[in-house]
């Protein structure tokens, strides 16, 4: 019976539909509870069978929100084919289907704009205007879709109905506004409309650092292009190198540069403009140079701190025994081989040395781990902080503790019987 119902939907045969429902009143319910690639309402909507659609919606309006294997609703299919009356019937039953996106991330308003079905687009915008602000794949808006498909009238309609300054200048994932796309595709009418009738930002820079004027200047081939350049100039358009970047633009460019670089050696990012080369942002190069210098200095300081830790000032005791020479505090005390001489002779100085040395060692290791972790350090402030830490470590390394008492001893404290232990030679009496 499902096969017969599909045939009736293809033909738009309302009488056959009624006969089948007379035989099985639950026939349409199976398409709601079961797993079918599409429903008879999808077929009838795609083919524009209005009476069949009315009859199905009158008996089972829930079928209007069912989606097929491509996540398309009957409203998607009716919109794609441009069946205005079918779409109106579906909207009356469930206008929220304007917000449902198919497998490609497009809702019925996106499809109507891309196809240029203006009457349908008006109905959909009137039913759910905020559906026009839903983003598609690659972060593109419905305005991007209009420009890509060269649908100027649909663009004018949407700019007048649902667009504001922020939405009009929205960027996709590549940082391109609709003006960038229009210039790249040489859509002269769209460009003239945008620069004459909207508040499009002609100075906006994309992810590659190009303004609209930069893109147009690369491929000036005819008089029309030159006229567009003049029009852009009149409303304040500039090349990217002529206008300073905003903080958000600088942040985006720096992030892209730092993540794209695979060689730790700073290098120039080259892009061909005829015979010219566009260099990477100077601030990013400065950060990369400082990163390499910090890595080198931090490694040296960590090695110095480690060496000082295993071989402290004044050395270590070479044997076990009684301290026969040192300060008064440690005089006559036992010492152990391998322990610091300074720790026994002047524990306060040794403690200060140990704290400073450990702090410098850990700080250097922390900076090394931070730099090799791949974390993008995009601000000069953070780099200055790391440089100050390195400077403090360097001062610790350059000012070892004074061990005035630990390295000096008085003559009377020298063990007196060294010669006795060695033994003096017997001199024969003549």
Question: pLDDT (tens digit, 9 = 90+) per residue, 291-342?
Answer: 777 778 878 888 887 887 778 877 878 777 765 444 444 445 677 777 878 7
Tokens coding 261: 């670089």
Tokens coding 349: 């100085």
Distance separating alpha carbons of residues 100 and 231, to the nearest angstrom: 40
Q: Which of 37, 36, 49, 65 is nearest to 10 (CA)?
A: 49
What is the mean pLDDT of each successive set of 10 residues along the chain, which is 430 residues long?
91 92 90 86 95 94 93 95 96 94 94 95 94 91 94 94 89 90 87 87 84 69 60 59 52 53 42 39 58 78 80 79 50 70 79 82 79 63 69 62 43 41 47
Decide if 407 contacts 314 (C-beta within 8 A). Answer: yes
Decide if 57 contacts 64 (C-beta within 8 A). Answer: yes
Distance separating alpha carbons of residues 51 and 74, to the nearest angstrom: 15
Q: Which residues contact 223 (CB under 8 A, 6 or more apart)?
A: none
310 — alpha (psi -120 to 50), left (phi > 0) or beta? alpha
User: What local confidence, expressed as pLDDT, does residue 168 receive?
Assistant: 92
The CATH number of the domain covering residues in 1-134: 1.25.40.20
User: What local confidence, expressed as pLDDT, does residue 276 receive?
Assistant: 37
User: What local confidence, expressed as pLDDT, does residue 338 receive?
Assistant: 72
Distance separating alpha carbons of residues 91 and 124, to the nearest angstrom: 8
3-state helix, strand, coil in the chain (%, to 5): 60, 0, 35
CB atoms within 10 A of CB 174: 13
Say what the alpha-carbon torsion angle 348, 354, 360, 366 is, to the nearest 10 degrees: -130
Question: pLDDT (tens digit, 9 = 90+) per residue, 77-133?
Answer: 999 999 999 999 999 999 999 999 999 999 999 999 999 999 999 999 999 999 999
Q: Which of 323, 340, 344 is nearest to 332 (CA)?
A: 323
Which one-letter DSSP state was computed for residue 71?
Answer: S
Q: Which residues contact 124 (CB under 8 A, 6 or more apart)?
A: 79, 87, 91, 98, 108, 109, 112, 131
Q: Is the pTM of this model over 0.75?
A: no
Distance separating alpha carbons of residues 346 and 341, to the nearest angstrom: 8
Q: Which of 99, 109, 38 is nearest to 74 (CA)?
A: 38
Burial annotation 11-34 (CB, 10 A radius, 16+ → b, else e): ebbbebbeebbeeeeebbeebeee
Backbone angles phi, psi at 315, to 5 degrees: 80, -165
User: What local confidence, expressed as pLDDT, does residue 249 receive?
Assistant: 52
CA distances from 340 to 310, 313, 401 (A): 10, 8, 14
User: What local confidence, expressed as pLDDT, does residue 230 receive?
Assistant: 65
């Amino acid at each position: 019976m499902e096969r017969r119902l599909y045939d009736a939907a293809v033909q738009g045969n309302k009488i056959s539909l009624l006969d089948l429902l007379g035989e099985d009143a639950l026939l349409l319910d199976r398409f709601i509870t079961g797993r079918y690639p599409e429903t008879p309402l999808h077929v009838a909507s795609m083919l524009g069978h209005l009476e069949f659609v009315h009859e199905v919606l009158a008996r089972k309006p829930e079928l209007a929100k069912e989606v097929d294997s491509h996540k398309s609703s009957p409203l998607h299919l009716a919109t794609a084919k441009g069946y205005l009356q079918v779409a109106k019937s579906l909207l009356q039953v469930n206008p929220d289907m304007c917000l449902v996106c198919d497998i490609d991330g497009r809702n019925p308003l996106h499809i109507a704009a891309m196809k240029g079905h203006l009457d349908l687009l008006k109905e959909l915008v009137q039913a759910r205007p905020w559906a026009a602000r839903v983003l598609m794949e690659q972060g593109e808006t419905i305005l991007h879709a209009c420009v890509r498909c060269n649908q100027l009238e649909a663009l004018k309609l949407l700019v007048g109905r649902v667009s504001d300054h922020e939405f009009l200048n929205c960027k996709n994932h590549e940082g391109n506004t609709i003006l960038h796309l229009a210039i790249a595709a040489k859509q002269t009418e769209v460009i003239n409309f945008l620069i004459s009738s909207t508040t499009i930002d002609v100075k906006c820079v994309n992810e590659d650092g190009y303004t609209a004027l930069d893109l147009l200047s690369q491929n000036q081939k005819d008089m029309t292009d030159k006229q567009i350049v003049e029009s852009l100039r009149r409303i304040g358009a500039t090349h990217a190198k002529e206008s300073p970047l905003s903080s958000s633009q600088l942040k985006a460019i720096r992030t892209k540069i730092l993540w794209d670089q695979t060689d730790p050696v700073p290098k120039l990012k080259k892009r061909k403009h005829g015979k010219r080369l566009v260099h990477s942002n100077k601030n990013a190069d400065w950060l990369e140079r400082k990163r390499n210098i910090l890595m080198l200095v931090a490694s040296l300081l960590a090695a110095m701190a480690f060496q000082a830790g295993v071989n402290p000032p004044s050395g270590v005791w070479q044997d076990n025994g009684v301290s026969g020479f040192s300060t008064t505090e440690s005089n006559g005390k036992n010492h152990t081989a391998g322990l610091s001489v300074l720790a026994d002779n002047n524990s306060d100085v040794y403690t200060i040395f140990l704290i400073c040395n450990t702090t410098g060692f850990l700080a250097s290791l922390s900076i090394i781990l931070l730099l090799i972790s791949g974390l993008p350090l995009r601000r000069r402030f953070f780099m200055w902080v790391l440089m100050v830490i390195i400077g403090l470590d360097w001062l610790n390394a350059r000012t070892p503790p004074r061990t005035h008492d630990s390295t000096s001893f008085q003559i009377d404290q020298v063990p007196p019987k060294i010669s006795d232990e060695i033994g003096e030679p017997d001199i024969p009496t003549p």
